[in-house]
Structure 1
Amino acid sequence: MERWFSRITMFWMLFLGEVQSQDWTKCSTGCTCDGNKMSVTCNGLKNVPNDIQKDAKKLDLKYNSLSKLSPTAFHGLNKLTILNLWGNKLQTLPAGIFKELKNLETLWVTDNKLQALPIGVFDQLVNLADLRLNINQLKSLPPRVFDSLTKLTYLSLGSNQLQSLPEGVFDKLTQLKTLHLLNNQLRSVPDKAFDKLSKLETIILADNDWDCESCDILYLSQWIRGNGEKIKTSNAGYTDPDGVTCQGTMESVNKITKENTFQAGCPTTTQQMATSPASTTTTETMTVREKQTKPRMKIFQEELFSKASIFFCQVIFTQHVSLVVIHILAEIPLLHIVCVVRKP
C-alpha cells in the first residue's frame, strides 16, 4: 500500500511539473512560441514581457523598441542558452540584469546605443561562448569586465568608439578564437594585451587610429609580425596583416620597429635622459647659474683687486717711493687707473 501511494504521488508530481513546463499554448502578448524548440520570439515591444515561459531556452528580442531594461527582466529564465537583443535602442545594461542566466551561451547586444557597461555585468555568465557588443557607442570598458567569461570563444567589440583598452582586459579569455576590434578609435593596445589568447584564430584590427609615432605601438607591431596569419580584413576571413595601417598614412603597423619609430619621435633610454624634463630643467638651471655666477665672481675679483691696489698705491705715496717705480707699477692695468689718478 505504501509503495502504491508513493508511486501515485510521484506520478502526480511529474504530471503537474510536465504540464507547468510544457504549457506553450499561452504565449506572451506580441510573441510567438515554439514548444518543440523551446523558443520565444517577440516583435513590436517596448518592454520585456514578464510572463515568458520559464523553461524557454531561446529568447529572441531583436528589432524591437526596447530603450531600457528592468534589472529583473530576465530573472527566472535560468534555462536560457540564447538571448538576442540585436537592433534595439538600449543605452545601458542594468547591473544584475544577467545574474540568473548561468546557462546562457550566446548573448547578442549588437546595434544598440550602449554608451557604457556596468562593472561586473557579465560576471554570472560563466558558460557564455559568444558575446557580441558591436555597433554601439562604447567609449571604454570597465576593468576586468570579461574575467568570468572563461569559456568565451567569440567576442565582437567592433564599430564602437573605444579609445583605449584596460590592462589585462583579455587575460582570462584563454578559449577565445575570434576577436573583433575593427572600426574603433584605438591608438594602441596595452603591453601583452593578446599574450594570453593562446587559442586565437581570427582578429580584426583595421580602421583604428593606430599611433605609429608613439612608443606604445611597438607591442602591437611586434605581435602582428609574429601572428600575421590571424590578422583578418573582415568576417570574410581574408588574411591581411598589412591592412592594419597607421593613422593618417598607409604605412602598415607591422612595419614599425624601434628604429623607425625612433626616427618618428620615440626616444631611446639615453635620449630620454638627455631630453627628459628633469634633465632639461637641470641643464637650463646650470646655464642660468653660470650666467649669474661668472659676472658676480668677476665683479668680486675686480673689487678685491681694486681695493688692494688702492691700498698699495697709498703705501707707495706715504713712503715717498720714486715716480719711476709708480710708473712701472702703473703698467699693470688697474694700478694704472688707481695710481696715476692718485699721483701727487
Structure 2
Amino acid sequence: MERWFSRITMFWMLFLGEVQSQDWTKCSTGCTCDGNKMSVTCNGLKNVPNDIQKDAKKLNLQYNSLSKLSPTAFHGLNKLTFLDLGYNELQTLSEGVFDQLVNLNKLYLQYNELKSLPRGIFDKLTKLTFLQLTENKLHFLPHGVFDQLTELKTLNLEINQLRSVPDKAFDKLSKLETIILADNDWDCESCDILYLSQWIRDNGNKVKISNTNTDDPDGVTCQGTMESVNKITKENTFQAGCPTTTQQMATSPASTTTTETMTVREKQTKPRMKIFQEELFSKASIFFCQVIFTQHVSLVVIHILAEIPLLHIVCVVRKP
C-alpha cells in the first residue's frame, strides 16, 4: 500500500512538472518566455496579453504601443517582482491596475505620456523599492500618492511638468536613498514650493543627478531661472503671507484638485495686493499733505479730505 501511494505521488509530481513546462513553452503571442528565469518579454503589442504565465516573476513590456491598461491587465500575476512599462504611450493608469502585484519590487513607467496619477495607484505596492517615472507629462501629484511605499529606495521624477509636490509628499519614505527631481517646472513664486524647498535642504544627500550617485541638491532649479529650489524661503516666494505647512494642511482638503489649488493661490495673492494698496495710499497721503501745507489749505478742507474713504488721508497739521 505504501509503495502504491509513493508511485501515485511521483506520478502527480511528474505530471504537474510537465504541465508547468508546457505553460512556459506555450508563450503568449508576441512574447518570448524564459522558464529558468521565470521571465516574459513582449514586443509589438497594443494590449497586455491575458495568458501570461501566472508564476512569472519578471514581465518586460517596454517598447510596445500600449496607450492604456485594462484594470485587470495584471490580475493573477501576484508573483511578479519586476514590471517594465517604459517607452509606451500610456496617457493614464486605471485605478487598481497594480493592486494584485503585492510582491512587486521594481516598477518602470518612464517615457510615457502620463499627465496624472490616480489617487492610491501605488498603495498595494508595499514591497516596492524602485519607482521610475521620468520623462512623462505629470503636472501634479495626488496627496499621499507615495505614503504606502515605506520600502522605496529610489524615486525618479525627472523631466516632467511638476510645479510643486503636495505637503508631506516624501515624509513616509523612510528608506529613500535616491530621488531625482531635475527638469520640472518648479514654481518658486508660489507658496506651494515651500515644502519641497525645505525637504531638499533637510535631505540634500538623497537628491541625485540622474544615473549617478552624485549629490545634487542645488540642481533642482526654479522654472525660468537657474535659482535652486532649496534657496527659496517664505520671504522670497514673492507671495506675502504664505501659510505655514500646518496651516496649509488644516485649510486644504486631501482631495485638492487643480482648480482648488488655483483658488488657494488666488487667495494667497491678496496679502501682496493689500501691501501694495497700503503703500499707494501712504504715498498719496504724503502728496496731498504736501499740497495742503504748500497751499495753506484751511483745517476745514483738511478734515473734508480726511473723510474720503478711498484715500484714507490722515494729515497732522500744526499751527505755525
What is the TM-score of this pair, normalised by structure 2? 0.73
Q: Which amino acid aligns with 2:21?
A: Q
Q: Which residue of 1 aligns with 2:281?
A: none
> Does the 8 A contact of 1:24 with 1:34 survive in 2?
no
C-alpha spacing 1:5/1:87, structure 2 compared with 1 (3 Å): same
Distance (whole Å) between structure 2 residues aligned to residue 154 and residue 251 of structure 1: 29
1:60 Cα offset (Å): 1.3
Partners in 1 of 2:109 and 2:143 — Cα distance? 19
Work out the CA distance in 1 between the residues paired with 2:12 and 2:157: 51
1:30 Cα deviation after fit: 6.1
Q: 1:255 aligns with which of 210, 231, 243?
A: 231
How far the C-alpha of 1:151 sits from its partner, in A, is 0.4
After superposition, the Cα gap between the structure-2 partners of 1:213 and 1:30, relative to the gap in structure 1 and judged at 3 Å, is closer
**1:22 partner SS:** helix
8 Å CA contact 1:109, 1:134 repeated in 2: yes
Work out whether residues 231 and 240 of structure 1, in 8 Å CA contact, stay in contact via their aligned partners in 2.
yes
Structure 1 counterpart of 2:148: 172
C-alpha distance in 2 between matches for 1:174 and 1:164: 21
Q: Which has the higher contact order (CA 8 A, sep 6+)?
A: 2
Query: Partners in 2 of 1:110 and 1:274 — Cα distance?
Result: 40
Distance in 1 of aligned mates of 2:24 and 2:66: 30
> Aligned to 2:40, which of 43, 51, 59?
59
Provide Cα deviations, 1:15-41, integer angstroms capped at 9, x if missing partner: 222222234895547665545x25xxx
Structure 1 residue 78: deviation in Å? 2.1
Contact 2:140/2:165 (8 A) holds in 1? yes
| Amino acid of the structure 1 residue aligned with 2:150 | T
Uncovered stretches (5+) of structure 1, i.e. residues with no partner: 39-56, 284-289, 293-344
Query: Which residue is equivalent to 2:3?
Result: 4
Alpha-carbon deviation of 1:65?
A: 1.4
After TM superposition, list the pairs within 5 Å mapping 1:175-190 onto structure 2: 175-190=151-166
Task: Note closer, same or farther for the CA distance 1:210–1:23 as it changes in structure 2 (3 Å cut).
Answer: same
User: 1:41: which partner in 2?
Assistant: none
| Count, aligned residues | 254
Give the Cα–Cα distance (whole angstroms) in 2 for the partners of residues 260 and 30 of structure 1: 55
Contact 2:95 2:118 in 1 (8 A): yes
| AA at the equivalent of 1:246 | C
Matching residue of 1:78:
54
Structure 1 match to 2:297:
none
- The verdict on how the C-alpha distance between 1:273 and 1:101 changes in structure 2, with shifts beyond 3 A counting, is closer
- In structure 1, the partner of 2:12 is 13
Matched, 1:223 2:199: yes
Alignment of 1:316-335 (within 5 A): none
Name the CA distance, whole Å, in 1 between partners of 2:54 and 2:26. 18
The equivalent residue for 2:215 is 239
Letter in 2 for 1:167: H
- Alignment-mate amino acid for residue 15 of structure 1: L
Contact kept, 8 Å, 1:73 with 1:97, in 2: the verdict is no
Sequence identity, in percent? 53
Q: Distance in 1 between the 2:8 and 2:92 partners? A: 52
Residues 189 and 136 of structure 1: CA distance in aligned 2, closer, same or farther (over 3 Å):
same
* Aligned CA distance change for structure 1 residues 144 and 266 (closer, same or farther; 3 Å): farther
- On the 8 A contact 1:214/1:266 being kept in 2, the answer is no
Q: Deviations over 1:154-202 (max 9, x none)?
A: 0011100000000000000000000000000000000000000000000
Provide the residue aligned with 2:21 in structure 1. 22
Q: Name 1:212's counterpart in structure 2.
A: 188
Shift of 1:267: 2.7
Q: Larger Cα Rg: Structure 1 or Structure 2?
A: 1
Query: C-alpha separation between the residues in 1 aligned to 2:44 and 2:33?
Result: 20
Return the alpha-carbon distance in structure 2 between the equivalents of residues 275 and 217 of structure 1. Answer: 18
Distance 1:291-1:244 versus aligned 2 partners, 3 A rule: same
The within-5 A match list for 1:1-344 is 2-23=1-22, 26-28=25-27, 34-35=34-35, 37-38=36-37, 57-61=38-42, 64-69=43-48, 72-74=50-52, 77-261=53-237, 264-268=238-242, 275=270
Classify the secondary structure of the residue corresponding to 2:99: coil
C-alpha deviations, 1:51-88, integer Å up to 9, x for none? xxxxxx21012xx2112235x343xx221110000111
Q: Which moved more, 1:88-97 or 1:23-32?
A: 23-32
CA gap of 1:137–1:274, structure 2 versus 1, over 3 A, is closer
1:31 to 1:114, Cα distance in 2 relative to 1, 3 A: closer
